[in-house]
Chain A
């Protein structure tokens, strides 16, 4: 064995032994380190919050926040979110440790490091005195404008991070009622959503829901997500929902399907949002009922205040002739005050018979007294009907 080979082998053995020793030491000491790290974290935050028995790491973003933990008590309930944040300026750096309650109240705050070349004591004191709500305005110290900017930066980062904990509300679908059809009611539902990476596109469909809340059919209005196979997969999913009650749909509907997850989720969201929309949808003010000998019959319905804050529904079937004149009406529901109040309102309605509903204005109310809310509702119903008939043309 020549000298060069011997030397090379010695170097290799030396490296293997030393690296092995270091790796062995690392794993040998790891449990002790884990234990000591937990103790240090609790010790560090003991200055800002009491009663924290353990901490849970929480994900956070940004360069300013360096640590974020959920502080839990003995029972495992959250006491506060614990932050350490550092920001630099031309005078050095500032590190703040703060405990923020779930409602945003600052439980404790500590200016851990104020490495500034001026007004260190004053800045430290002002930070320690900032103990209201995390969204309050930090006043700062006169003569330490740069430090104020840095502290504002830290507080803004904490505010944003604290807000991040709330689950952001999903954007709702845009929904509009299109028309009544033989099978039920047709709605246009649209939603813009991510379909791949950060790319967003709109899905828009006309869907028909029957009176039991079941999806009868749909037709595509716009398909802005990936096409071809991806679209086929999404459409197959949509097809599988036909005949189902949209009020009973859940995220479980996505199970058993693969591919085009974003598009399928968007379609499901459209139907879930539609179910919500229909649940809260007010009964139509105007609904066409049938053609009769004198003209067309419409059902008019409206809920409105009749006294104080009390609300009630007025509903009538009215017949309008081909010239737009009110021919007759019949009461379907009268949910406002009865007796003489009702008599006054009905007298007002009677006075409108024979009039062209297209020419009705607020002036019709003049010359009548009493039951103002009920009379106004009746007039509004007829004016709405006029608009509806205009729309039909």
Chain B
């Protein structure tokens, strides 16, 4: 699968919509979509993902600059895994409850398509341009994650709740009696991801 120039998550400079880029966005969001069960969990995951993307960009630039190009793929993969484990350690320390529930998804960031797409796109860029591309992609990733989280939490529970993973205690009951609870289940993340993929594909076809 070709990963270069397939990143639809860079909202400032999205790639062309095709079957490869649609697969890319789906694979980039797949582990993360499960965490986007509530807005609170999505925000914590995004903070950890931001750290992850920044660190992987720096590491990969180092790998691309100082190590032989022939073995870059191995070093890149090792770097993705190492940084994911490092971020999961941070999560374990600073977000204990979140980590007990979602830390495996933090580690799974290392097999998400997004870091590999970023590595391919940043290959011929300097560190500043690479970081810019990464942050732009992160913004797209964050927007999609938050949309999934808002939809799943509001429709799936009929409430917005903070306080489970952080010290912010807030709850608003919108229509909990009429919640479509299936969206709060893991199955809900597949359904919402399906909606997003369809929207992106539809936008590509009408463009």
Contact = CB atoms under 8 A, between A and B. Distances in A.
B185 interface: yes
Pairs of residues from A and B, 8 with the lowest C-beta to C-beta distance, nearest first: A33-B93, A40-B96, A18-B82, A29-B93, A117-B181, A36-B96, A37-B96, A32-B93
24 contacts: A3-B68, A7-B68, A7-B70, A11-B74, A11-B75, A14-B75, A18-B78, A18-B79, A21-B86, A22-B82, A22-B86, A22-B89, A25-B89, A29-B92, A32-B94, A33-B92, A33-B93, A37-B96, A40-B96, A92-B185, A115-B184, A117-B182, A118-B181, A121-B176
A222 B132 CA distance: 85
B203 interface: no
B142 interface: no
Given A18-B78, A36-B96, A117-B181, A29 B89 contact: yes
Nearest to B176: A121
Interface residues of B, number: 26
A11 B68 CA distance: 11
B174 interface: no
Contacts of A121: 176-177
Contact of A7 (B71, B79, B85): B71
B61 to A, nearest CB: 15
Nearest to A15: B78
B107 to A, nearest CB: 12
Contacts of A3: 68
Given A21-B86, A22-B85, A92-B185, 11 more contacts: A18-B78, A22-B82, A22-B89, A32-B93, A33-B92, A40-B96, A40-B97, A44-B97, A115-B185, A117-B185, A120-B157
Contacts of B199: none
B86 A25 contact: yes
A7 B185 CA distance: 46
B58 interface: no
A116 interface: yes
Contacts of B89: 22, 25-26, 29
Contacts of B157: 120
B207 to A, nearest CB: 37
A116 B78 CA distance: 39
Contacts of A15: 78
Contacts of A32: 93-94
Given A33-B93, A37-B96, A120 B181 contact: yes
A40 B94 CA distance: 10
Interface string A1-38: 00100010011001100100110011001001100110
B181 A33 contact: no
Contacts of B94: 32, 36
B94 to A, nearest CB: 7
A133 B93 CA distance: 37
Nearest to B157: A120
B144 to A, nearest CB: 23
Interface of B: 67-68, 70-71, 74-75, 78-79, 82, 85-86, 89-90, 92-94, 96-97, 157, 176-177, 179, 181-182, 184-185
A203 B195 CA distance: 73
Nearest to A113: B164
Q: Is the interface of A mostly helix, strand, loop or mixed?
A: helix
B85 A10 contact: no
Contacts of A22: 82, 85-86, 89
A32 B91 CA distance: 12
A26 B74 CA distance: 24
Interface string A115-129: 111101100000000
A378 to B, nearest CB: 76
A120 B71 contact: no
Contacts of A7: 68, 70-71
Contacts of A18: 78-79, 82
Contacts of B82: 18, 21-22
Contacts of A40: 96-97
A33 B71 contact: no
A22 B79 CA distance: 12
A72 to B, nearest CB: 20
Contacts of A26: 89
Nearest to A44: B97
Contacts of B179: 120
B93 A116 contact: no
Contacts of B93: 29, 32-33, 36
A324 B177 CA distance: 88
Nearest to B71: A7
A32 B67 CA distance: 35
Contacts of B185: 92, 115, 117
Nearest to B98: A40
A116 B89 CA distance: 31
Nearest to A19: B82
Contacts of B96: 33, 36-37, 40
Given A32-B93, A120-B179, A10 B184 contact: no
A10 B92 contact: no
Nearest to A29: B93
Contacts of B97: 40, 44
B176 to A, nearest CB: 5
